[in-house]
């Protein structure tokens, strides 16, 4: 199936071709026809699957026909949990809508000055992308006219639920016309999300594409045991000196640690900066722009700030501190391996983290292989978890047993194969192996990490069950 087969407006097809996309991704193939025929949908799709275009292309298609209602208010409203994701959706709308005449896209986000937002809202708007809290403020002040709203998109609804925004989301939905088309995207479609959907959607079609496990399949996960902070810093330095590393996100547990580590790395000569929730929006945007333009090689971030970052050159994610929740591990490492590229996720763990690691492995269904760098061996022999892992081997393990190789340098090849990766209910085939769609050929092999002399320096071992 090609984009032409989807019957989208030709101006949109032209913009898609400019973006370099040749085939719709599985979520796009499934969602776009349903949306064009007017159905509500609830879709489970991770970031990286092309979900933004899956809702944005039909939204833009709808805008190609003038509204019958005489109003300046938005015709499409997208709600997102974070400012970063909102900005990304806004960019996508502009990119795919660039050939549609007079399509006005704005974002209304917390942390931005009100006067500018008031001005934006006083002008005609087609697509409004917003975080719920700030939007409610404007609604309560009577600054938004939803009389011509036709489509409401809840992006990363599970996250909005987790972050306590769901009441705001429901208040906003209640302020929009009941005739609207409603779309809900979520990493999982579980009981809590079902309840939200039952209140806000009308007979929605359920769409489920690749599972979480399949989504991680293009990311090689590595584990380094660390003795103490000094050992951890030396290991970090080793990983950052890897020439295969184009850009990296290093995750710390706290905002203060993010600042301190970014300062230390900067002092050591790395193009590094911090990103966390205590920074104002202008600082965050400036840092992200720098990262996107290649002006930064290392971003040191906390969980909240990193959601929605979609930058192709991020080759490595480093868990300087392990995340508190297994789910965050998946979000973190999903910052690499974007759009079918290969990625490497490195986690540092101390002897005390074994139970935590087992939880993460159970959640992902994949084992994280432990690595040792000669000269940087942990002093203490890791206490190994005794049980708990029943899932699939990691990418590194699988590669040892397969001659799998991609032919296109590992980029943007995540189409057809992904479709066979699990049934319509998102049940993958155990290990996400069949129909695997991501390339691996341009990655350094985990068992041959090189030291500075070029000798084979790495060593990996599996933690026993
Ligand atoms: P998303 O899941 O929306 O965050 O998108 C992940 C990445 O996939 C983004 O960088 C998009 O530009 C890219 N993308 C979206 N649709 C396609 C497609 N049909 N072909 C190739 N890349 C795509």
Of 6, 30, 52, 415, best ligand 1 pocket probe by most atoms within 8 Å of the beta carbon: 52
Q: For 426-461, what is the HEC assignment?
A: CCCCCCCCCCCCCCCCCCCCHHHCECCCCCECCEEE
User: Two tokens at 297?
Assistant: 């090689």
Residue pLDDT, tens place only, 394-418: 444 444 443 322 333 332 333 332 3
Q: Does the CB atom of residue 310 touch ligand 1 within 6 A?
A: yes
Atom 15 of ligand 1, nearest CA residue: 50
Nearest to 434 by CA among 411, 402, 408, 407: 402
Query: Hey, what domains does the chain have and what are their CATH numbers?
Result: 3-210 (3.40.50.300), 213-448 (3.40.50.300)
Name the percent of the chain in helix, strand, coil, to the closest 5: 40, 15, 45
Residue pLDDT, tens place only, 174-187: 999 999 999 999 98
Higher pLDDT, 440 or 378: 378
Atom 14 of ligand 1, nearest CA residue: 50
Has residue 393 got a pLDDT over 80? no
pTM above 0.85, yes or no: no
Q: Does the CB atom of residue 43 touch ligand 1 within 6 A?
A: no
Has residue 313 got a pLDDT over 60? yes
Q: Does the CB atom of residue 413 touch ligand 1 within 6 A?
A: no
Q: Does the CB atom of residue 73 touch ligand 1 within 6 A?
A: no
CA separation for the pair 154, 170 (Å, rounded)? 10
Output the pLDDT for position 312. Answer: 84
Higher pLDDT, 155 or 391: 155
Tracing tokens 């909005």 back to the chain, one arrives at 160
Q: Does the CB atom of residue 52 touch ligand 1 within 6 A?
A: yes
**pLDDT-based confidence at 341, cuts 50/70/90?**
confident
User: Two tokens at 223?
Assistant: 């584990």
User: Two tokens at 283?
Assistant: 């600082």
Centre of ligand 1 to C-alpha 384, Å, is 39
CA separation for the pair 327, 368 (Å, rounded)? 15
Of 31, 50, 331, best ligand 1 pocket probe by most atoms within 8 Å of the beta carbon: 50
Q: Does the CB atom of residue 337 touch ligand 1 within 6 A?
A: no
Centre of ligand 1 to C-alpha 12, Å, is 15
**pLDDT-based confidence at 21, cuts 50/70/90?**
confident
CB contact at 8 A, 356 and 389:
no
CA distances from 403 to 399, 407, 435, 460 (A): 7, 12, 15, 19
Q: Does the CB atom of residue 412 touch ligand 1 within 6 A?
A: yes
For the segment 27-49, the average pLDDT, to the nearest whole number, is 91
Q: Does the CB atom of residue 343 touch ligand 1 within 6 A?
A: no
User: Two tokens at 294?
Assistant: 């290649």
- Cα separation of the two ends of the chain: 44
Q: What mean pLDDT value characterizes the chain? A: 81
Centre of ligand 1 to C-alpha 141, Å, is 36
Centre of ligand 1 to C-alpha 327, Å, is 22
Residue pLDDT, tens place only, 102-158: 899 999 999 889 999 999 999 999 999 999 999 999 999 999 999 999 999 999 998
């Amino acid at each position: 199936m090609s984009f032409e087969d989807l019957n989208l407006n030709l101006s949109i097809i032209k913009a898609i071709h400019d973006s370099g996309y040749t085939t719709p991704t599985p979520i796009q193939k499934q969602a776009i026809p349903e949306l064009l025929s007017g159905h509500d949908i609830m879709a489970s799709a991770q970031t990286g699957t092309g979900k933004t275009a899956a809702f944005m292309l039909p939204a833009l298609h709808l805008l190609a026909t003038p509204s019958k209602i005489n109003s300046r208010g938005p015709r499409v409203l997208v709600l997102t949990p974070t400012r970063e994701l909102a900005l990304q959706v806004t960019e996508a709308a502009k990119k795919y809508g660039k050939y549609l005449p007079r399509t006005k896209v704005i974002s209304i986000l917390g942390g931005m000055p009100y006067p500018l937002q008031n001005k934006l809202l006083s002008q005609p708007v087609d697509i409004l992308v917003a975080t719920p809290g700030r939007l409610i403020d404007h609604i309560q002040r009577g600054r938004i006219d939803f009389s011509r709203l036709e489509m409401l998109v809840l992006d990363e609804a599970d996250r909005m639920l987790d972050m306590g925004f769901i009441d705001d989301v429901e208040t906003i939905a209640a302020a929009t016309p009941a005739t609207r088309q409603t779309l809900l995207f979520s990493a999982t479609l579980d009981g809590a999300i079902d309840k939200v959907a039952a209140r806000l959607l009308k007979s929605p079609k359920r769409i489920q594409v690749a599972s979480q496990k399949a989504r991680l399949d293009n990311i090689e996960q590595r584990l380094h045991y660390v003795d103490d902070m000094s050992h951890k810093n030396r290991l970090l330095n080793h990983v950052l000196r890897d020439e295969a590393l184009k850009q990296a996100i290093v995750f710390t547990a706290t905002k203060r640690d993010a600042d301190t580590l970014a300062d230390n790395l900067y002092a050591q000569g790395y193009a590094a900066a911090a990103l966390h929730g205590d920074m104002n929006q202008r600082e965050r945007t400036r840092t992200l722009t720098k990262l996107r333009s290649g002006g930064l090689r290392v971003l040191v971030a906390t969980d909240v700030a990193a959601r929605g970052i979609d930058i192709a050159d991020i080759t490595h994610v480093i868990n300087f501190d392990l995340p508190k929740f297994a789910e965050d591990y998946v979000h973190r490492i999903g910052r690499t391996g974007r759009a079918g590229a290969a990625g490497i996720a490195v986690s540092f763990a101390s002897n005390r983290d074994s139970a935590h690691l087992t939880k993460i492995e159970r959640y992902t269904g994949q084992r994280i292989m432990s690595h040792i760098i000669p000269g940087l061996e942990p002093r203490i022999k890791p206490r190994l978890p005794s049980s708990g892992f029943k899932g699939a081997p990691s990418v590194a393990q699988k590669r040892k047993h397969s001659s799998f190789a991609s032919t296109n340098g590992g980029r943007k090849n995540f189409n057809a194969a992904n479709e066979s990766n699990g049934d319509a209910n998102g049940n993958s085939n155990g290990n996400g192996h069949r129909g695997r769609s991501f390339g691996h050929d341009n990655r350094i092999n985990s068992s041959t990490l090189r030291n500075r002399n070029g000798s084979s320096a790495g060593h990996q071992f599996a933690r026993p069950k």
